[in-house]
């Protein structure tokens, strides 16, 4: 039809659209949100956009370009996951800026005020857009302009907010309890406590830290006792994959630490909360934020010499041999990707790979000596969906598993671990073995409720928050903590 064919014909739609818009709005500026690259077979590329589309849009009355990318058919590129680097899309607005004379805005994983300023100062683009960064901290722009970069509660790019949006649920931010709630939930409107209490928090993970922050703002006296020698709970481990970027998880810990310091909250390290300690200190209330523990399955040979748990691997306590078998493909998927990338060229950041056929996305070996053979044995039907994941991350991690050449065997039942071999019954019902040099156990986690069971009904009021109510994710830790701190 008249809208299809060569570029000239294809652009007729946008010409007419902009001309009608101009008629409707007069002098009012027209800002167009555009995909710099559709990243789709048969779609347009950045080169097409710069050569054909951008000039025609400018001629037809577009006063500003706001550049994103991707199309709904593979929406994982539209809102980049934490695995992608910060500012991952900036090369697109940068290229478009070179071919138009109107202002160009860029965005995408810019969650640090310093990076936002740098993009402008370096002339990469004219206006910097902050999407999720403003969800995580609505004061992002104000704090950036004031140079208060470290006061920003940075987005961790977990996409909890967007997944809610996709599912037609109220959108909730993992790190900002207030986001998308009625104004009565604003922290500034929070009521001070009528009765100041002396509260002991067991556990300095995200839940314990957020609780301490909010309860202190309400006027309580809070002490955090943490068994280990640092704050952050599980997150320093979860952020520790050598070849998969999950370091954004630490953003919320950095911010909470800063708040805890400035509020003068007392933190006692290497202090395990026990029933005796509570009897001795006699607080008015105890808040348990004790997190979760690894599940160790009852499989013959599980205590063998080359069997390590995921936590032990992430703590850097164990080295890993060439052939790695991972039992548990949900908690184990990220470690599988990280190990599967060893000795290989890292994937190019961003989504240019979508222009390539899948065979070309498979990572090439650069150091064959270091390449690992990684196999996942998973009892369920899928891999890559631990309780902290969502559909977008599931899709992205499964692509990464395939690129990294990880062999994923699902619906298998592991029977025995011997020296160098794992025996299992496969999805076809047949027995088989797979050799290993290192076996990583990542089957799941269980809430740590021992202390609760000991204390319930015996001592002062006891509250539970975060993963010790069931292992899940940061959002649950922050939200259960914030909610409890508003009630206590
Ligand atoms: C491999 C892995 C990757 C993950 N990745 C993500 C992710 O990408 N996104 C996400 O949202 N979530 C992720 N999670 C989940 C996330 O780590 C947890 O949901 C979150 O840390 C829970 O916070 P918490 O404060 O409740 O517990 P934790 O973070 O577990 O903290 C509990 C703290 O309590 C301390 N403690 C325990 N008992 C006592 C005691 N008796 N006295 C004093 N201190 C005590 C512990 O030492 C610990 O510091 C991941 C989890 C795993 C296992
Ligand atoms: C909850 C949520 C809803 C969004 N809705 C839209 C939308 O309706 N239209 C759109 O073009 N982009 C939408 N986006 C994408 C953002 O505008 C932005 O392009 C993207 O999040 C990348 O920028 P960021 O890394 O700064 O968040 C949405 C993003 C989020 C997180
Ligand atoms: S939910 Fe996650 S991705 Fe969305 S704004 Fe909050 S921290 Fe960022």
Q: Is 249 in the pocket of ligand 3 (CB under 6 A)?
A: no
Where along the chain do the CATH 3.50.50.60 domains lie? 296-443
Whether residue 351 is predicted with pLDDT greater than 80 in this model: the reply is: no
Identify the sign of the CA torsion 89, 93, 94, 95: positive
Q: In what order do the strands lie in the sheet with 285-288?
A: 266-268, 221-225, 198-202, 285-288, 462-464
Cα of 395 vs centre of ligand 2, distance in Å, is 18
Whether residue 62 is predicted with pLDDT greater than 80 in this model: the reply is: yes
Question: Residue 120 and residue 126: Cα distance in Å, rounded?
Answer: 6
Summarize pLDDT for 85-99 with one digit per residue, the tens: 999 999 999 999 999
Residue 119 neighbours by CB under 8 Å, 6+ apart: 87, 90, 106, 110, 125, 128
Tell me the pLDDT band of 367, cut-offs 50, 70 and 90: very high
Q: Is 157 in the pocket of ligand 3 (CB under 6 A)?
A: yes
Buried b or exposed e, range 34-65, using 16+ CB within 10 angstroms: bbbbbbbeeebebeebbebbbebbbebbbbbb
Question: Which residues are bridge partners to 67 per DSSP?
Answer: 34, 106
Q: Is 82 in the pocket of ligand 3 (CB under 6 A)?
A: no
CATH class of this structure's domain 195-293+446-487: alpha beta
Instruction: Indicate the Cα dihedral angle 462, 179, 389, 447, nearest 10°.
Output: 0
Burial class (CB in 10 A: 0-12, 13-18, 19+), 283: buried
Cα of 153 vs centre of ligand 3, distance in Å, is 10
CATH class of this structure's domain 7-129: alpha beta
Where along the chain do the CATH 3.20.20.70 domains lie? 7-129
Cα of 233 vs centre of ligand 2, distance in Å, is 30
> Region 404-424: what's the mean pLDDT?
97
Cα of 438 vs centre of ligand 2, distance in Å, is 41
Question: Residue 473 and residue 381: Cα distance in Å, rounded?
Answer: 22
Q: What is the model's pLDDT at position 149?
A: 98
Phi first, then psi: give them for residue 192, nearest 5 degrees: -70, 155
CB of 309 closer than 8 Å to CB of 441: yes
Cα of 131 vs centre of ligand 2, distance in Å, is 6
> Region 140-165: what's the mean pLDDT?
96
Q: Is 384 in the pocket of ligand 2 (CB under 6 A)?
A: no
- The residue ranking higher by pLDDT, 456 or 249, is 249
Q: Is 107 in the pocket of ligand 2 (CB under 6 A)?
A: yes
Tokens of 198: 């002396």
Q: What is the model's pLDDT at position 456?
A: 81
CB of 431 closer than 8 Å to CB of 424: yes
- Point out the ligand nearest to the CA of residue 157: 3
> Region 105-127: what's the mean pLDDT?
97
Q: What is the model's pLDDT at position 319?
A: 87
Of 247, 181, 242, 253, nearest in space to 210 by CA = 253
Q: What is the model's pLDDT at position 226?
A: 98
Cα of 6 vs centre of ligand 2, distance in Å, is 31
Summarize pLDDT for 208-263 with one digit per residue, the tens: 999 999 999 999 999 999 999 999 999 999 999 999 999 999 999 999 999 999 99
Q: What is the model's pLDDT at position 171?
A: 93
> Region 265-277: what's the mean pLDDT?
97
Tell me the pLDDT band of 401, cut-offs 50, 70 and 90: very high
Question: Residue 375 and residue 406: Cα distance in Å, rounded?
Answer: 6
> Region 112-119: what's the mean pLDDT?
98
Cα of 302 vs centre of ligand 3, distance in Å, is 38
Place of tokens 């069971």: 453
Identify the sign of the CA torsion 77, 79, 84, 88: positive
Whether residue 459 is predicted with pLDDT greater than 90 in this model: the reply is: no
Question: Residue 96 and residue 105: Cα distance in Å, rounded?
Answer: 10
- Point out the ligand nearest to the CA of residue 333: 1
Residue whose CB lies within 8 A of the most ligand 3 atoms, among 80, 153, 157, for a mutation test: 157
| DSSP conformation letters of 254-297 | HHHHHHHHHTT-EEESS----HHHHHHH--SEEEE---EEE---
Summarize pLDDT for 187-221 with one digit per residue, the tens: 988 989 999 999 999 999 999 999 999 999 999 99
Q: What is the model's pLDDT at position 464?
A: 97
Q: What is the model's pLDDT at position 152?
A: 98
Question: Residue 482 and residue 480: Cα distance in Å, rounded?
Answer: 6
Atom of ligand 3 nearest to the CA of 159: 3
Atom of ligand 1 nearest to the CA of 314: 1
Q: Is 161 in the pocket of ligand 3 (CB under 6 A)?
A: yes
Any idea what the Cα angle at residue 352 is, between residues 31 and 248, rounded to 5°?
A: 80
Whether residue 356 is predicted with pLDDT greater than 80 in this model: the reply is: no
Residue whose CB lies within 8 A of the most ligand 3 atoms, among 107, 162, 174, for a mutation test: 174
Across all residues in the chain, what is the average pLDDT?
95
Q: Is 132 in the pocket of ligand 3 (CB under 6 A)?
A: yes
Cα of 303 vs centre of ligand 3, distance in Å, is 39
Q: Does domain 296-443 have CATH number 3.50.50.60?
A: yes
Element (H, E) at 403: helix 391-403
Any idea what the Cα angle at residue 164 is, between residues 162 and 167, rounded to 5°?
A: 110
CB of 443 closer than 8 Å to CB of 431: no
Where along the chain do the CATH 3.40.50.720 domains lie? 195-293+446-487
Q: What is the model's pLDDT at position 339?
A: 98
Of 459, 428, 422, nearest in space to 441 by CA = 422
CB of 81 closer than 8 Å to CB of 103: no
Atom of ligand 3 nearest to the CA of 79: 3
* C-beta neighbour count of 476 within 10 angstroms: 22
Of 11, 20, 445, nearest in space to 234 by CA = 445
Whether residue 79 is predicted with pLDDT greater than 80 in this model: the reply is: yes
Atom of ligand 1 nearest to the CA of 475: 11
Tokens of 201: 């928090």
Whether residue 358 is predicted with pLDDT greater than 90 in this model: the reply is: no
Q: What is the model's pLDDT at position 353?
A: 76
First and final CA of the chain: distance in angstroms?
A: 66
Residue whose CB lies within 8 A of the most ligand 1 atoms, among 238, 244, 385, 481, for a mutation test: 238
Question: Residue 385 and residue 391: Cα distance in Å, rounded?
Answer: 8
Residue whose CB lies within 8 A of the most ligand 3 atoms, among 130, 135, 165, 473, for a mutation test: 135
Cα of 205 vs centre of ligand 1, distance in Å, is 6
Question: Residue 146 and residue 163: Cα distance in Å, rounded?
Answer: 32
Question: Residue 461 and residue 50: Cα distance in Å, rounded?
Answer: 64
Of 15, 17, 108, 27, nearest in space to 63 by CA = 27
CB of 448 closer than 8 Å to CB of 362: no
Whether residue 354 is predicted with pLDDT greater than 80 in this model: the reply is: no
Summarize pLDDT for 370-387 with one digit per residue, the tens: 999 999 999 999 999 999
Q: Is 269 left (phi over 0), alpha (psi -120 to 50) or beta?
A: beta
Atom of ligand 3 nearest to the CA of 111: 8
Atom of ligand 1 nearest to the CA of 206: 25
Summarize pLDDT for 142-153 with one digit per residue, the tens: 999 999 999 999
Question: Residue 177 and residue 180: Cα distance in Å, rounded?
Answer: 9
Atom of ligand 2 nearest to the CA of 162: 1
Q: What is the model's pLDDT at position 174?
A: 98
CB of 174 closer than 8 Å to CB of 478: yes
Q: Are strands 104-106 and 64-68 parallel, antiparallel or unpaired?
A: parallel
CB of 104 closer than 8 Å to CB of 120: no
């Amino acid at each position: 039809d008249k809208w299809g064919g060569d570029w000239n014909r294809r652009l007729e739609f946008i010409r007419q659209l902009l001309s009608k818009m101009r008629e409707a709005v007069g002098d009012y500026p027209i800002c167009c949100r555009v995909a710099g690259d559709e990243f789709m077979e048969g779609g347009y590329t950045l080169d097409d956009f710069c050569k054909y589309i951008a000039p025609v849009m400018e001629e037809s009355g577009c006063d500003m370009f706001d550049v994103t990318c991707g199309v709904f058919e593979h929406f994982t590129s539209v809102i980049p996951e934490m695995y992608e680097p910060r500012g991952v899309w900036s090369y697109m607005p940068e290229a478009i800026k070179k071919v138009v004379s109107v202002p160009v805005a860029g965005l995408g994983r810019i969650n640090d005020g310093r990076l936002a300023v740098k993009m402008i100062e370096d002339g990469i683009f004219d206006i910097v857009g902050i999407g999720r960064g403003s969800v995580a901290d609505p004061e992002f722009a104000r704090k950036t302009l004031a140079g208060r970069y470290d006061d920003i509660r940075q987005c961790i790019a977990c996409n909890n907010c967007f997944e809610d949006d996709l599912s037609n649920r109220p959108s909730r931010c993992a790190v900002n309890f207030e986001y998308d709630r009625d104004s009565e939930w604003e922290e500034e409107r929070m009521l001070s406590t009528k009765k100041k209490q002396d509260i002991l928090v067991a556990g300095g993970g995200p839940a314990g830290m957020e609780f301490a922050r909010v309860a202190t703002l309400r006027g309580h006296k809070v002490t955090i006792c943490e068994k280990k020698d640092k704050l952050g709970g599980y997150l320093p481990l979860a952020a520790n994959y050598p070849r998969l970027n999950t370091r954004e998880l630490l953003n919320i810990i950095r911010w909470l630490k800063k708040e805890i310091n400035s509020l003068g909250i007392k933190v006692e390290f290497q202090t395990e909360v026990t029933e005796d300690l509570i009897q001795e200190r006699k607080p008015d209330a105890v808040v348990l934020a004790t997190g979760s523990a690894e599940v160790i399955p009852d499989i013959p040979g599980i205590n063998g010499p080359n069997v390590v748990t995921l936590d032990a691997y992430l703590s850097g306590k164990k080295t890993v041999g060439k052939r790695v078998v991972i039992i548990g493909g949900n908690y184990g998927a990220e470690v599988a990707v990280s190990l599967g990338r060893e000795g290989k060229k890292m994937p190019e950041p961003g989504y240019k790979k979508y222009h390539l056929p899948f065979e070309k996305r498979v990572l090439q070996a650069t150091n064959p000596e270091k390449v690992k053979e990684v196999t996942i044995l998973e009892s369920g039907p899928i891999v890559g969906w631990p309780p902290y994941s969502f559909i977008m991350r599931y899709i992205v991690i499964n692509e990464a598993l395939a690129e990294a050449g990880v062999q994923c065997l699902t619906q298998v039942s592991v029977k025995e671990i011997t020296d160098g071999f794992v025996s299992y019954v496969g999805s076809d019902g047949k027995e088989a073995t797979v050799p290993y040099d290192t076996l990583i156990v990542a089957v799941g986690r269980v809430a740590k409720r021992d202390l609760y069971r000991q204390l319930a009904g015996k001592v002062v009021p006891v509250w539970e928050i975060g993963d010790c109510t069931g292992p899940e994710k940061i959002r649950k830790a922050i939200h259960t903590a914030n909610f409890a701190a508003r009630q206590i």
